[in-house]
Amino acid sequence: MTSWDPTDWNQVIRTAQSIAAVQERDGGVPWPDGHVDAWNHIECLMAMSVAGLAGPVRRGYDWLVRTQRADGSWPMKLAGGRAVEQGGESNHAAYVAVGVWHELLVTGDEGFAREMWPVVRSALDFVVGLQTTRGEIVWERAADGSPARYALLTGCSSIYQGLRSGVLLGERLGDPQPDWELAADELGHVLAAHPEAFADKSRFSMDWYYPILGGAVRGPAAQARLAEEWDTFVEPGLGIRCVSDQPWVTGAESCELVLALEAMGERDRALRLFADMQHLRHEDGSYWTGWQFVNERWFPHERSAYTAAAVVLAADALAGHTAAAGIFRDAGRYVTDRPTAACGCSHARSLT
């Protein structure tokens, strides 16, 4: 186990460099199995930007420009520069807005943001095109153009942050997008008040904390949500479980919960959890994906760039290394006193 004080800039650099080390020549940042998806790729670019690795970051955004399709989406999986799963995920497309907004906050480079604006605009238009009349956004559009029949809570929580980031970016660049703002308002309401709108993935810890992380749920509702499943998912001294029914803690989920806690003002718990998951740190600054704590083995036996990325973003949120350190905290600025259970409103469900 290697300890890490989140204020230690050298540790931030080492972990970000472990991401750059696996970046492919075409700019993609792959999973350990070699495929690239847009969401995790963008998260890795955000982490490298925190550490000032400008060259790898811009190559990564060039990859996004080259691989975006005419409808605004990205293939679900690419390997060797080729699409191996053709469907387009709504949360993958939405996250480019978070990435570009983050890059603008870190660097102040408005010229870059303007260059990426057509990519963001096309991506979020794709996303909004998958919104139902109730407000949730279905998880994909298949290769034949048909929308999925259901929405995912984790994905929609991330999409909420993407839409809010896109609205802020449009306002900054003088091209406001009121349709995205309306879509975000409707989605935020469903996330807070209509759990029945989403497929049941409650065994996954992400469905527990992502409505907080994405900014749709804050205040007393967020406190109640955390308390309800804290003992189910949190393993003191180790991190948090990926799924409730397996003795397996994972670094990315643990650090995303750190970000959610910090966004709520729960700094002490965030720092404690960040320290707890450091047993996953490798001596080269990279991170093991997870730890099976009954068998006492790395599981899977791999170190992943997306885990390292979540660590760097959590360190930035805790230590304030960059001007983007509050990006997850600020995602909740529009939350009012929304109800947390069925609110009695009537919306007919109709897929796009």
> What average pLDDT score do residues 191-215 get?
98
Dist. CA 262–CA 270, nearest whole Å: 6
Q: What would the pLDDT profile of 262-304 be if each residue is shown by its tens digit?
A: 999 999 999 999 999 999 999 999 999 999 999 999 999 999 9
Q: Which residues does 144 contact at the CB level (< 8 Å), separation at least 6?
A: none
pLDDT of residue 336: 66
Q: In Å, what is the CA distance from 185 to each residue of 130, 178, 188, 222?
A: 15, 11, 5, 18
Phi, psi angles (nearest 5°) of residue 234: -90, 125
Dist. CA 78–CA 265, nearest whole Å: 38
Assign 335 a pLDDT band (cuts: 50, 70, 90).
confident
pLDDT of residue 341: 45
pLDDT of residue 346: 45
Considering only residues 352 and 202, tell me which one the structure prediction assigns the higher pLDDT.
202
CA 137 to chain centre: 16
82: number of Cβ within 10 Å: 9
> What average pLDDT score do residues 80-84 get?
94
Contact 218, 332 (CB under 8 A): yes
Q: In Å, what is the CA distance from 94 to each residue of 159, 166, 275, 332?
A: 5, 8, 31, 17
Run of H or E residues at 83: strand 82-85
pLDDT of residue 161: 98
CA 133 to chain centre: 25
Assign 352 a pLDDT band (cuts: 50, 70, 90).
very low
343: number of Cβ within 10 Å: 13
Dist. CA 250–CA 327, nearest whole Å: 23
Looking at residue 47, its amino acid is: A
Would the pLDDT of 338 be above 70? no
CA 40 to chain centre: 8
Rounded to 10°, the helix 90-107/110-128 angle is 160
Task: Tell me how many degrees the CA angle 129-140-194 measures, rounded to the nearest 5.
Answer: 75
Q: What would the pLDDT profile of 118-166 be if each residue is shown by its tens digit?
A: 999 999 999 999 999 999 999 999 999 999 999 999 999 999 999 999 9
> What average pLDDT score do residues 248-257 get?
98
Q: What would the pLDDT profile of 9-20 be if each residue is shown by its tens digit?
A: 999 999 999 999
pLDDT of residue 4: 80
Assign 5 a pLDDT band (cuts: 50, 70, 90).
confident
**Phi-psi category of 80—alpha, beta or left, where left has phi over 0 and alpha has psi -120 to 50?**
left
Q: What would the pLDDT profile of 207-221 be if each residue is shown by its tens digit?
A: 999 999 999 999 999
Would the pLDDT of 350 be above 80? no
Give the SS3 label for residue 70: coil
Run of H or E residues at 78: strand 77-79
> What average pLDDT score do residues 310-335 get?
96
Dist. CA 57–CA 46, nearest whole Å: 8
pLDDT of residue 302: 98
Q: In Å, what is the CA distance from 106 to each residue of 102, 113, 311, 347?
A: 6, 12, 17, 40
Give the SS3 label for residue 288: strand
Q: What would the pLDDT profile of 14-72 be if each residue is shown by its tens digit?
A: 999 999 999 999 999 999 999 999 999 999 999 999 999 999 999 999 999 999 999 99
Assign 348 a pLDDT band (cuts: 50, 70, 90).
very low
- Burial (Cβ within 10 Å: 0-12, 13-18, ≥19) of residue 315: buried
Would the pLDDT of 340 be above 60? no
Would the pLDDT of 345 be above 80? no
pLDDT of residue 351: 40
Dist. CA 78–CA 139, nearest whole Å: 18
| Domain 9-330 grouped into CATH 1.10.10.10 | no
Dist. CA 225–CA 149, nearest whole Å: 27
